[in-house]
Structure 1
Amino acid sequence: MKSSMTISMTHSGSKKRTYPILKFYQSLLAEFKKQQTGYSTIAIIGQSCLGSVAVMLLLMRGVDQVINLFILFLVTLLCMAFNGAVLAQLKTKTTFNLLILSIVFSCSVIVANLI
C-alpha cells in the first residue's frame, strides 16, 4: 500500500454544530451589548419586581425551616448581584449572565411555591 495514491482528508471543511439555544443566547447578548444602558435600566426594574414576588411567596409560607431561609438569601443575593453589576459597570457578558441567573432562579422559586 506504499505506492497507493490516496488523497489525505482534512477536517478544515467540516461544519461546527450550532445549538439553537446557544444561537438564541448569542443574539440576546449582542442585542444587550448594543443598548446596555437602556436594557439594564429596564432589567433592574423587572428582575427586582420578580425577586420581590419570589420573596413574598417565600415569606407567606413561613421561614421556619432553614432551607426557606437559605432560598430567601439566594434570591436576595442574586437580585443584588445583578443590581451591583449594573452599578459597577461590569462587563456586558457578566451583567447579562447575572440577569439570566437571577430571573431563572426567581421564576423557579415562584413556580415551586405556587405548586
Structure 2
Amino acid sequence: MDVLNNPDLTHSDTQRMENGPLKTYNNLLAEFKKGRMGYAAIAIIGQSCLGSVAVMLLLMHGRPTAVEMFVVFLITIFCMAFNASILAQLKSKIAFNLLILSVVFSCSVIVAYLV
C-alpha cells in the first residue's frame, strides 16, 4: 500500500512525509539513477570497507560464538547482495535499497560493538 495514499493519514501527515524522509530517499534514488555507474563503483568500495570494519570489530570483541558467526554471515550476505545487484545490473531502486540495507546493518553492528 502506498504510504502517501493511506486514508488514515491527515493532509499534514502526508505533507510531512513528502517533505521528510521520503523526499530525501526519492532525491537520493534519483541521483543514484543518474550517475549509476560512478555511484555503484564508489558504493561497492565504501560498503565493502564498512562491512569489513563491522566484521573486524565483531571478531575482536571476543571468542567467536554461534551468534557472532551468524552476524558475520549476515554482514557478508548483505554486502554481497549489493555487489551482486550491481554486477547483475538489477534495477537502480533494488540496488539502492540493498545499499541502504547493507550500510545500515553494518553501521548498527559497529555502533553495537563500540558501545
Tell me the TM-score range normalised by the shorter chain. Answer: 0.7 to 0.9
Partners in 2 of 1:106 and 1:63 — Cα distance? 20
TM-score by length of 2: 0.84
TM-score by length of 1: 0.84
Q: Secondary structure at the match of 1:89?
A: coil
AA aligned to 1:39 is: Y
From the two aligned structures, give the one with the greater helix fraction. 2
Shift of 1:50: 0.2
Matched with 1:67 is 67
Residues 34-79 of structure 1, C-alpha deviation per residue, up to 9 Å, x if partnerless? 1100000000000000000000011111343211111110001000
Partners in 1 of 2:111 and 2:11 — Cα distance? 39
Matched with 2:31 is 31
Written as runs of structure 1 = structure 2, the 5 A alignment for 1:84-95 is: 84-95=84-95
Identity %: 63
Partners in 2 of 1:32 and 1:84 — Cα distance? 17
Partners in 1 of 2:88 and 2:74 — Cα distance? 20
Higher radius of gyration, 1 or 2:
1
Written as runs of structure 1 = structure 2, the 5 A alignment for 1:1-115 is: 17-18=14-15, 19=17, 20-115=20-115
Gap runs ≥5 in structure 1: 1-13
Query: What is the RMSD of the two structures over their aligned residues, measured on CA atoms?
Result: 1.5
Partners in 2 of 1:104 and 1:63 — Cα distance? 25
